[in-house]
Amino acid sequence: MVSQTEENYLKALFHLTTETVGKQDAGTNELAVFLEVKPATVNDMLKKLKEKELVAYEKYGKIALTEKGRDYAVMVIRKHRLWETFLYEKLNFSWDEVHEVAEQLEHIQSKKLVEELERFLGFPEIDPHGDPIPNAKGQIKMVQRQTLAQIATGKTCKLVAIKDSSASFLQYALQLGLGLSTQIKIKNRHDFDGSLEIEINGKPSTVSQKFAENVFVV
Amino acid sequence: MVSQTEENYLKALFHLTTETVGKQDAGTNELAVFLEVKPATVNDMLKKLKEKELVAYEKYGKIALTEKGRDYAVMVIRKHRLWETFLYEKLNFSWDEVHEVAEQLEHIQSKKLVEELERFLGFPEIDPHGDPIPNAKGQIKMVQRQTLAQIATGKTCKLVAIKDSSASFLQYALQLGLGLSTQIKIKNRHDFDGSLEIEINGKPSTVSQKFAENVFVV
DNA sequence: TAATATAGTTAGGCTTATCTAACAAATAAA
DNA sequence: TTTATTTGTTAGATAAGCCTAACTATATTA
C-alpha cells in the first residue's frame, strides 16, 4: 500500500530528477521546497520509501527513484494527465482550473477506471498543457520541445506546453490570450534583458525572458 | 475543513437515520458496526463532529445530524450517485463495480466538478441502483417504492433499486440475470417461509423472502 | 427491585505525517 | 587547510484516526 502522501513524494521526485536533462537525483532540501514541507519531514519519508524499495538513497547521499518507484510515479502522472484531459474536454474546465482538481483525482485507486477513462477520451497523447500522457505500459512519448525564448526574431510559432503550470502563470497566460495551440509571432527581441515583443492574435504584448523560457512552442 | 473520514461518518449517520421510516437517531454501537470500527473510535469522532456542529448529541444520548450535518451528508451522497452514474453510463462499469470506486470519488472537493459532471450526464434523477440523486440544492425526489416481497402472486414488475447494495448481493443478482429495469414475474409464493418462485427473462429461479425484501420494484 | 446484560465512555497506546530545535556532515570560501 | 555556510539528520512533540482494556450508565429480565 502506497499512501497519497507517498504518491506525492514519488511524483515530486520524478519531476525533479527526470524533467531536467542531466540530473538523475535530488536533495532533501530541494524536495522539501518542492513539496512545501520541512527537510526533517522529507527525511522521515525517505526512510519509509527506501524501506518499500521505491527510492534509492543512503545517508547524506543523493536521492533517486528505483525502477519500481519510477514506474509508480509514472502511473500517477498518467492518471493526472488523463483527468486533466477529461476536465478540459468534457467538463468545460479552463486551462488553469484543471490542475488543482487533477491533483485529487490522480490518487483514486482503480485500474479499470484509468483504462476506461483513457478509452473514453480516445487515447489522447497530450494533456491540456501539452504534456505527454504515459501509456498503460508506462511509456512516455517524448516530444521535441523548444521554448519561446529560443525562437528567432520574426518567426511565428505555436504554444504546445508550459514548464511551470502554477495558477499564477496560467492566469497571466490566459490574460494575454495565450492557450494551447495559440499562434505567437516574435516581433522584436531586446538583448539587454532578453525580453520579447510578441503578437498574439494580432494583439501586441511584451514578455520577460523568464516568461519566454516557461513556454514550449513548435 | 471536513476530512474524508468525517464525511464517511456523516454519510453513515444519514443512512442510519433517514433511510428507515420513523427513526431519527442512531447509537454508538450501531454506527461502529456500520463503519466497521470500534465504538470507542466512534465516540472520539462524535465529540469532534459535535464541536463542528455537524451532529447533535449528549453523553449517553441519541445521535442525530444537525441541519448543517444533514446538508453536508446529502452533498456527499449526491457526488457518490453522480459518479456511479458516470461510471456506469460512460465507462462501462457494471452494476456491482461502481460502488467501490464511487466511495473514493465522492470525496473529491470541487463545486465546479460536481455541477459540470451533473450537466455532462444530462441531470440524471436516479443512479444505477435506482436511488434518487439529490439536486444542487440538496433536495431529494423521493420515489414511492415497493419491495419484491410486497407484490402479489402472478404479477409482473420491474426492478428499480436495491436496498443493500453490497457486492455479494449484487453479484448474486447479476447471476440471476437481474439488473436495473429487469422484468420479474412472480410465479408462486410459499407462505411457509415467504420464498418466491420468480421468472427473469423466461428463466425460473427461487429466492428467499430476505432477498425479495432487498429488491425495490414498480 | 435487584441482578444481569447491553450500550456507551474514558484512559492510555499506536501509526502516519507533520513540526521545531539541536546537531552532524559536506561543501564552499577565506 | 581551517573556518563558515549550506545541507542533511536525529530527537522529541503534536494531531488525526484508530485500537484495547477497563469502567459506567442504561435497559432488560428474573
pLDDT tens per residue, range B172-203 = 988 888 887 788 999 999 989 989 999 998 88
Task: Return the number of other C-beta atoms located less than 10 Å from residue A132's C-beta.
Answer: 19
B197/B47 Cα distance (integer angstroms): 49
The candidate with the shortest Cα–Cα distance to B218, out of B137, B167, B135, B150, is B150
Give the H/E segment covering residue B198.
Answer: strand B196-200
The four Cα atoms A24, A30, A35, A39 give a dihedral, to 10 degrees, of 120
Burial class (CB in 10 A: 0-12, 13-18, 19+), A126: middle
A215/A163 Cα distance (integer angstroms): 6
Average pLDDT value for residue range A171-183:
85
pLDDT at A55: 97
Question: With a 7 Å cutoff on the CB, does A207 touch strand D?
Answer: no
Q: Which residue in chain B has the smallest CA separation from A100?
A: B110
Task: Return the number of other C-beta atoms located less than 10 Å from residue B105's C-beta.
Answer: 22
SS3 B10: helix
Which amino acid appears at position B46 of this protein?
Answer: L
Q: In chain B, which residues have pLDDT < 70? A: 144
Residues 6 or more apart from B214 whose CB is under 8 A from it?
B147, B162, B163, B164, B169
- Where does B52-205 have alpha helices with state H? 67-90, 98-105, 111-120, 167-175
Minimum-distance nucleotide, CA of A28 to C1' = D8
CB under 7 Å from strand C: A 3-6, 36-38, 40-41, 44-45, 48, 60; B 27-30, 39-40, 43-44, 46-47, 57, 59-61
Picking from A92, A109, A116, the nearest residue to B116 by CB comes out as A92
| Distance of residue B5 Cα from the nearest chain A Cα, in angstroms | 15
Could you tell me the pTM of the whole model?
0.85
Residue A66 pLDDT grade (very low, low, confident, very high; cuts 50, 70, 90): very high
A113/A75 Cα distance (integer angstroms): 13
Q: Give chain B's contact residues with A (Cβ, < 8 Å).
A: 87, 90-93, 97, 100-101, 104-105, 108-110, 112-113, 116-117, 120
B36: which 3 cell numbers? 466497521
SS3 A36: coil
Span of A69-78, A104-113, B177-186 with lowest mean pLDDT: B177-186
Residues 6 or more apart from B86 whose CB is under 8 A from it?
B117, B120, B121
Evaluate if residue A159 carries a pLDDT over 90: no
Q: In this predicted model, which residue has the larger pLDDT, A183 or A144?
A: A183
A148 DSSP 8-state letter: G
Residues A175 and A97 sit within 8 Å (Cβ to Cβ): no
A82: which 3 cell numbers? 488523463
pLDDT at A90: 98
Residues B138 and B107 sit within 8 Å (Cβ to Cβ): no
B10/B164 Cα distance (integer angstroms): 18
Evaluate if residue A71 carries a pLDDT over 90: yes
The candidate with the shortest Cα–Cα distance to A3, out of A45, A60, A50, is A45
